[in-house]
């Protein structure tokens, strides 16, 4: 049910911000689920999953490295997809930026896939 997933990912993002030590033991289980929900056909689900990934990045730091491959390709696809809603584009750009901040070696090879000249 998309509504349940949407709300669950919002809660996960909020819990990540508020009490990450309680969330961290489950990250290995959560990240594949978040990655499989990066489907822009369900905009609200995708948006909240994207946002939660970004919040997790900021808490995990370099420990995010094992999970970059689970989400980066889908995020790049979302940002390059025509007619992506503005809010999803913004959250996707922020999350890619956060991934790049904490795991630059993993994200930098993908730059040509999503960076555009001004």
pLDDT tens digit sequence for 76-91: 999 999 999 999 999 9
What does pTM read for this prediction? Answer: 0.94
**Percentage of residues in the chain with pLDDT exceeding 90?**
90
- The residue segments making up the domain with residue 75 are 2-114
Average pLDDT of the residues of the chain: 95
pLDDT tens string 25-78: 999 999 999 999 999 899 999 999 999 999 999 999 999 999 999 999 999 999
Is the pLDDT reported for residue 94 higher than 90?
Answer: yes
d(CA 90, CA 46): 12
The mean per-residue pLDDT over the stretch 94-110 comes to 96
d(CA 48, CA 5): 9
d(CA 80, CA 65): 23
The number of domains in the chain is 1
The C-alpha angle with vertex 89 and arms to 85 and 90, in degrees rounded to 5, equals 120
Question: Which alpha helices (DSSP H) does the chain contain, by range?
Answer: 2-23, 27-36, 43-60, 65-80, 86-102, 104-107, 111-114
Phi, psi for residue 82 in degrees, rounded to 5: -65, 145
**How far does Cα 94 stand from its chain's mean position?**
9
Contact (Cβ atoms closer than 8 angstroms) between residue 72 and residue 99: yes
């Amino acid at each position: 049910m998309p509504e349940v997933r949407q709300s669950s990912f919002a809660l996960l993002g909020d819990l990540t911000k508020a009490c990450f030590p309680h969330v961290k033991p489950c990250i290995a289980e959560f990240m594949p689920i978040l990655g499989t929900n990066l489907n822009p056909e369900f905009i609200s689900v995708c948006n909240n999953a994207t946002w939660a990934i970004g919040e997790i990045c900021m808490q995990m730091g370099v420990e995010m490295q094992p999970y970059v491959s689970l989400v980066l390709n889908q995020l790049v696809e979302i940002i390059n997809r025509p007619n992506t809603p503005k809010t999803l584009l913004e959250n996707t750009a922020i999350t890619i930026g956060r991934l790049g901040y904490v795991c630059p070696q993993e994200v930098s090879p993908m730059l040509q896939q999503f960076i555009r000249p001004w």
